[in-house]
Amino acid sequence: MRPPVSFIGQPIRSLQTMLRVIAQYEDDQPSVVPDGIYGNQTSGAVSAFQRNHGLPVTGVTDQLTWETIVAAYGPAKTDIGPAQPLTLILDPGKIIRRGAQEPNVYILQAVLTVLSQEYDSITPPNLNGILDEATSESLASFQELSGLPRSGELDKMTWKHLAIHYPLASNRKHRADQNM
C-alpha cells in the first residue's frame, strides 16, 4: 500500500487513517482521529484490531500487525468509498445508425431508460440491443434536450452528452430511492 503523499514520513498518521477507514467497515473496530500521536486511543484501536484479527494483543504495531492492517485497509476503502466509475468510450468517428445491433446499443438503451425517468420528454426505449425506431426516437429527444442535431443516431458528441447527463440522473434517482 502506498500512503497518500501527505502521509509520507508520517507512519503514525498513516496507521491512524487506515484504522479509521477499517472502523467504518468493521463494526467492532474502534475509530481513531489521525493526529499523528501514538497515544491511548491509537493503542486501544490497535489492540482491538489485533484481537479481531487473531494477532497477539499488545497495542503495539509490529510488522505483522502493520501488514495485516494494510491488507484489511484495501477492501475497507473499496467498500466504503464510491464505486469505481466505468468509462465507456465510443470509437472516434463511429456513428451507430438505425438498425444497428451491437453491445453499445444495450448500453445506450440502459442510459436512455435512466434519463427517461428524469426527463419526461424521453420515452424509455426497448432493451433489445437494436437501434430500432423506439430507441432512435428516445435518442432524438435526448439530442433535442441537449441542443444537439436531432438525428436519432449515436455519434461521438451525443455520446459525450449522454456521459455527462447519466451520472447526474442516476445519482439523483439513487438519492431519491434512499430517501423513501
Task: Quick: pLDDT tens for 21-38.
Answer: 999 999 999 999 999 999
**Strands, E, within 7-165: which ranges?**
none
Question: Is pLDDT of 174 > 70?
Answer: no
Rg (CA), the chain: 24
Query: Which neighbouring-strand residues pair with 154?
Result: 96
State the residue for C-alpha cell 435526448: 142
Report d(CA 8, CA 5) in Å as an integer. Answer: 5
- What number is the average pLDDT over the span 122-146? 96
Report d(CA 138, CA 102) in Å as an integer. Answer: 17
Interval 37-73: pLDDT, tens? 999 999 999 999 999 999 999 999 999 999 999 999 9
Positive or negative: CA dihedral 177, 159, 91, 109: positive
What residue ranges define each of the domains in the chain, with the CATH number in brackets?
A: 5-80 (1.10.101), 103-178 (no CATH)
State the residue for C-alpha cell 444497428: 100
Interval 102-112: pLDDT, tens? 999 999 999 99
Which of helix, strand or coil describes residue 137?
helix
103-109: long-range contacts at Cβ-Cβ below 8 A with a sequence spacing of 24 or more? 103/129, 104/154, 105/129, 105/130, 105/131, 105/135, 105/154, 108/135, 108/139, 108/154, 108/162, 109/135
* DSSP conformation class of 132: -
Q: What is the pTM of this model?
A: 0.58
